[in-house]
Each structure stands twice: as C-alpha cells, then as structure tokens.
A and B are shown apart, each in its own frame.
Chain A
Amino acid sequence: MEITALINFLKAQIDGLSIEQTENCTPKGITISSQHLKAVCELLHENEQFYFDMLSCITGIDNGVESGTMEVIYNLYSIPFERSLTIKVALDRKKPEVASVFDVWRTADWHEREVFDLFGIHFSGHPDLRRILLPADWNGHPLRKDYKHQDYYHGIKVEY
C-alpha cells in the first residue's frame, strides 16, 4: 500500500480533512486534524481496501509548555494485509480533547484511560473515563512536562 493512495482516499472521502504524511516516522504515518480522527478511524477500520482491524497502541505525548501542544499517536495494524500505520493528531495543550475511538476498537478503552490518567487528555465519548493506574485521589498528571508531584500523599512523603 502506498501511503499516498491512502491519503488520497481519505481526502476524497472526508470534507475539510487536513492530512499530510508524517516525516521521520516508522511505521509510516499520517498527521490529521483532530476533529476528524474518529471519521478517519471508522473509514480505515471498515474499508475493505485497508481494513485496519487491530489497534496496537495509543501513546500520548506532551511537547512542553513552550510549544503549547500535546499529541496522541495511534498505531494501527491490519492483520490480513500485514500493514502498519501511525496516525498522529495534535491537540491544544490548554484544553486537550479528542474523540474516543472506543466504538471502533474496544481495546481503546484502557489505552485511552491510561493516556487520560498520565496526561490529562480528555477523550469525549468514552463511556468510563476514570484514572486507571494512579490512585483516584492523586493530584496532577505525571507525564506532563511541567508536572510537579505533591509533597505528601496520605501523610507519606512522595519525594524519595
């Protein structure tokens, strides 16, 4: 599969989609506008030509306060075609929010909860967006670049 064919297909199907090939990315990837994420995922999942039936991984990235953006990266895999694809969306750091792909792949449930837990990125439409790894009464999201841990947790000193 040529990545350009995939880009052209998506452009033709979705109006107003901003899409470009991601540079320096292995496996090959596309960067899309965040509001079209779910539509793109649904298309890639359903379409017989591409059929990305497995979502391997969702990664959140905080680019730091200066850049003002966060990213969410989706690693898809198509079992019958043995192809991989990376989808990248950039979010505003002040109000990071993106649509949940829970309806497309159920595995997104826990992946998205993990990204929410560690980055504070909201996934709208997720049925049960709670913290998953950290305690529910923990303050802050540790993988943000400007994270400062709390001094005490239930009287226990956090600094080791």
Chain B
Amino acid sequence: MANEIQYKYHPDNLVLSEPNKYKVGDLKSTEMVLNLGPQHPSTHGVLRLEVLTEGEIVKKIVPHLGYLHRCFEKHAESLPYNQVIPFVDRMDYLAAMNSEHAYAMGVEKMLGIDEKIPKRVEYIRVLVAELNRLASHFVAIGTYAMDIGAFTPFFWMVRDREHILRLLEWASGARMLYNYIWIGGLFYDLPVGFEERCTELVNYLKPKLVELDDIVINNKIFIERTANVGVLSRDMAINYGVTGPMLRASGLRLDLRKVDGYSVYPELDFDIPIGEGKMGAIGDCWDRNHVRILEIHESLKIIDQCIVQLTTDHKRTRDFDPQEIVPKKIRPKAGDFYIRAENPKGELGFFFRADGKSDIPFRCKARACSFVNLSVLNELTKGNLIADLVAILGSIDIVLGEVDR
C-alpha cells in the first residue's frame, strides 16, 4: 500500500474540484478569463484568482480558496482546549504569538481566571506578541516590495526578522509555531538575559527603519506604483468587515488594543497611526504600507515599556512560576463566548460554545482576519489594470494558512 500511487488521474479532476465561474462560451468577444495562481508567487501562497479581463482592465475577480484547508474547527471539536493551541499557531503562521494570545485570553475569560493572571506573565505575553507583530509586518512590507519589483527590501526585512525569530526561538524553542502562551500562563519564563537582548534589538532596529523609509516608503518608484492605486473608502471597508492596518489606512482610528483594552495594553502608552493620504487618496496601497511602518514604530515603543516593566516592577524572581495558575482541568461553564483581539492583520475572533460537561469545546470558530480582508479584493480591483492587481493583492497582506484554515 505504501508504494502505491493512490491518486486516480482523470483529465476533469481539477475542473470538477474547483470549477471556474465564467465559462469561455459565455464571454463577450472582448473578454478573457485569466487564471492567476494557485502556484504564483504574488498570491502569497496557494490562492487562485479567476480574473475576468477586458484588454488590460480587470472587470471582475473570483477568488478560489481552500487549497490549504484542513478544517481547524473540526480539529478543535475533538481536542481539549489546551491542546488546540498548536493548531491556532498554524492559522496565521507569521504571527503565531498573537493568535495564541487571543485564544488563551478567550478561554481564560470563559474560566473566569483572566483577572488572576500574574502581571509578569501579561507583560511577557505582550512583549512576545509585539515582537511577533514586528516580524509579521516585516514580511508584509518585504514581500510587498518584492511583488512590485524591488528585491532588496525583502532581503533586508528577512534579515531583521531573523533576529526576532531567534529571540522567540530562545524563549520558546521554536522559530515560528511557538505553543508558548498557555491557558493561564506561559510555557517558560523568559530566559536569563532576554530583556537585554531585546533592548539591543530595539536599538539595532531604529536606524534600520530609517533606511527602510528611504528605500521603500519614500522611494519615488514605490510612490508612483502605489499612490492612488486600490483606494478603499472607509464606508466600504466597514461594510466588508475589513479590520486591522487596512481599515486604519482608510482613515478610521480603530484598534482593539485600545477599544477593548485587553491584557496590559491600557497601561502602555502608544498611538494608533491612520492613513492620511499623504501621497494620494486616503486608503490607497501606499497608505496601507505607511500605516504598517508607523505601527512598527509603535510596537517598538510598547516593547521598550514592557522591558522596563519586566526589569523593574515585575522583574524576575526565583520563585516565579509562569504555570502557577495553569488549570489542570479546563472545564468552562456552559455558554457562548466571542473573544476578539488585534492581530497584525486585523481582528482575530474566536467563538466558543462550551457545554459545561466536557473539556472539549462543543464548537470553536475562528474569525480569520485575512479571510475577511481578502473578500474586499473584487471591489478594490474592479476597473484597475492587471499590473495593479498584484500591487493591490499584496497590500491586503494575506496569509493563506489563515484564509483557508
């Protein structure tokens, strides 16, 4: 059995599994259907776009998703709450810490232990989550620059991201999929010397960000390529449920870290950057990237404050146990619960239904921000050039692991 090829070839298999919406026979003589992906670098993974074109102009886009679907929600229905965390990691694999934070917070609220979490644990959580936010934004900006033709920024961003990944690996043992934030605590305390290395990283990154401004965001070619392209109005963004940097780039100051004030974010001082349309219209591709870069600066501010807290008021002690209140048996009361948190890409929500009898969720639904943000693509690209389609898709910043779940 092991050596046997199981797949039964049939020429129609691919067509049957994901048929095109537009049939060639139904098109006008000036129209053409162009397939982009699923194996195309600018789709950032396995996303297929069925593009209805008229000459160079995009008339309609039908995204075909699900090439990476493994039904996270079905997995979650068969595992205890604490064992779901590794699956949560694998949704937005570029920002696993943030997803873990959201998930752990949700279950803690259901259990009613969210007030009892030690402050040091909360500060460590915010610190690693913000580090991961930096890493995620670095990939977003780096790959975006590569999408529209600039190669160098990608190498620079991946180089800087590497330092962050090494720090997180030091803390958790894994580079991308951490399983570090546990329900009720953390896997480990931070390693000795972590805070100093974090300070070094922040000092290292500050001049690099000036370089980044020069090479990407203020670059004349970059501005020409992105300003006034893919303008997303605020009303449309809200109507499509778009969240995160995309919504803020459209001029709405909405950040769940401020609005909901979860974890220790109320105690930290940071701003919410929004798109101001400096180079073109509010909510164009340039604004979206500019907001991400401004957010990197804000995250650095948060990291600085966390390090100060972790070395003064809540510093490491011999008897500190990050797993002190990790519950042995996780059995929330029966009820429905929706928790949301600000991920690098937008609002990550978890809907839980607990039946009160078992430690396995009756239903666990993930509201993925990439999935919802991607749904606005057709509206954004309508009437644009095919060349701009790649620029617009890249500026949405999707992770297919989260779109398909």
Decide if B347 is an interface residue (CB 8 Å cutoff): yes
Q: Which of B250-266 contact A (CB under 8 A)?
A: 252, 254, 259
**A2-26 to B contact mask, C-beta < 8 Å, 1/0:** 0000000000000000000011111
A contact residues around B259 at 8 Å (CB): 82
Stretch at the interface among A32-40, A56-64, A91-99: A56-64
**B353-387 to A contact mask, C-beta < 8 Å, 1/0:** 10000000011010100011001000100000000
Q: Which of A46-100 contact B (CB under 8 A)?
A: 53-57, 59, 61, 73, 75, 79, 82, 84, 86, 88
> Given that A26-B335, A56-B340, A57-B349 are known contacts, is A107 also in contact with B7, CB under 8 Å in the complex?
no
- Distance between Cα atoms of A101 and B241 in the complex (Å): 13
Stretch at the interface among B9-17, B134-142, B173-181, B319-327: B9-17
Decide if A120 is an interface residue (CB 8 Å cutoff): no
Stretch at the interface among B67-75, B115-123, B285-293, B391-399: B67-75
* Residue among A59, A105, A132, A155 making CB contact with B241, cutoff 8 Å: A105
B contact residues around A111 at 8 Å (CB): 372
Q: Find out whether the CB atom of B238 lies under 8 angstroms from the CB atom of A57.
A: no
Q: Find out whether the CB atom of B347 lies under 8 angstroms from the CB atom of A56.
A: yes
Decide if A1 is an interface residue (CB 8 Å cutoff): no
Q: Nearest residue in B to A53 (C-beta to C-beta)?
A: B238
B contact residues around A82 at 8 Å (CB): 259
User: B49 CB to closest chain A CB, in angstroms?
Assistant: 14
- Distance between Cα atoms of A61 and B351 in the complex (Å): 11
A contact residues around B13 at 8 Å (CB): 154
> Given that A57-B349, A134-B66 are known contacts, is A26 also in contact with B241, CB under 8 Å in the complex?
no
Decide if A148 is an interface residue (CB 8 Å cutoff): no
B contact residues around A84 at 8 Å (CB): 338
**B315-359 to A contact mask, C-beta < 8 Å, 1/0:** 000000000000000000111111010000001010101000000
> Given that A26-B109, A79-B252 are known contacts, is A132 also in contact with B65, CB under 8 Å in the complex?
yes
Q: Is the interface of B mostly helix, strand, loop or mixed?
A: mixed
Report the count of interface residues on A (CB-CB < 8 A): 44
- Distance between Cα atoms of A22 and B336 in the complex (Å): 9
Q: Find out whether the CB atom of A142 lies under 8 angstroms from the CB atom of B336.
A: no
Decide if B18 is an interface residue (CB 8 Å cutoff): yes
Q: Which of B1-28 contact A (CB under 8 A)?
A: 6-8, 10, 13, 16-19, 21
- Distance between Cα atoms of A142 and B338 in the complex (Å): 22
User: B240 CB to closest chain A CB, in angstroms?
Assistant: 5
A contact residues around B77 at 8 Å (CB): 143
A contact residues around B349 at 8 Å (CB): 56-57, 75
* Residue among B73, B109, B335, B405 making CB contact with A24, cutoff 8 Å: B335
* Residue among B18, B236, B338 making CB contact with A27, cutoff 8 Å: B338
Decide if B30 is an interface residue (CB 8 Å cutoff): no
Q: Find out whether the CB atom of B10 lies under 8 angstroms from the CB atom of A154.
A: yes
- Distance between Cα atoms of A23 and B335 in the complex (Å): 8
Residue pairs across A and B with Cβ atoms less than 8 A apart, 8 shown, are A24-B333, A26-B338, A57-B338, A61-B363, A75-B349, A79-B254, A107-B372, A156-B7
Those 6 A-B pairs whose CB atoms lie nearest each other, nearest first: A155-B8, A24-B335, A107-B241, A135-B17, A57-B367, A133-B66
- List the interface of chain B (C-beta within 8 A of A): 6-8, 10, 13, 16-19, 21, 65-66, 69, 71, 73-74, 77, 109, 236, 238-242, 252, 254, 259, 333-338, 340, 347, 349, 351, 353, 362-363, 365, 367, 371-372, 375, 379, 404-405
